[in-house]
Amino acid sequence: MSKPVQAVQVKVPEKCQVKRCRKEGCTVSMAGIRGQRVIIDLDCEDLNLPPNQTLCDYIFFGTKKRDADKDWVVPMELKKGNVDISDVAKQLQGGANVADQIIPHDASMNFIPVVASGNFSKHEQRQLRNRSNNVRFRGRSAIIQRVRCGDSLTQVLKDTG
């Protein structure tokens, strides 16, 4: 296991680490992800996060199976129905901020904020590309990626091998 992913596993209470991502009737599959991973449910009270903090549903931390230099941090928001991209961006930014506190500061991580949803209008797709909805992590800005409910996270992770 890579040092950053191992650090997450040690820092986060076991009760808050989950095997799957499912909220509000929407699921993101982990099928095809063969490397080490830790998924944190940000609704877990044992994280002792401020109660009014805007957060996404999960943060995925993972490593490419044969390449410890391919570590990923993926905040995820799951929505069954309509999506307000500006609200989702705030939730994902909250998740990115939590991830930044958990991961060692010398760790280099690939960062991809993700929204999973059922329906997605053309307007919502355009809103994803609006710079004001980008999510920042360690000085870099990232466009929110979208997967359909039920699809695998591998659709947005490149070279997960």
pLDDT at 83: 87
Give residue 11's pLDDT band: very low, low, confident or very high (50, 70, 90).
Answer: very high
Give the mean pLDDT of the chain.
90
Residue 73 maps to a domain: yes
Residue 126 lies in a domain: yes
The verdict on residue 160 lying in a domain is no
- Domain assignment present for residue 72? The answer is yes
Q: What is the pLDDT of residue 64?
A: 67
Reported as type and span, the H/E element at residue 108 is none
- Angle of helix 85-102 versus helix 3-11 axis, rounded to 10: 90
158 domain-assigned: no
* CA 75 – CA 39 distance, rounded (Å): 10
pLDDT at 161: 44
What pTM was computed for the model?
0.92
Residue 29 lies in a domain: yes
Q: Give domain status of residue 22, yes or no.
A: yes
Cα distances from 39 to residues 30, 32, 73, 104, 105, in angstroms, run 10, 15, 10, 17, 19
Return the percentage of the chain with pLDDT > 70, whole number.
Answer: 93
Which range marks the domain in which residue 27 is found? 3-153
Phi–psi pair at 72, nearest 5 degrees: -120, 145
Q: What is the pLDDT of residue 4?
A: 86
In a domain, 159, yes or no: no
Number of domains into which the chain is organized: 1
pLDDT digits (tens, 9 = 90+) for 65-124: 655 567 899 999 999 888 899 999 999 999 999 999 999 988 888 999 999 998 878 888
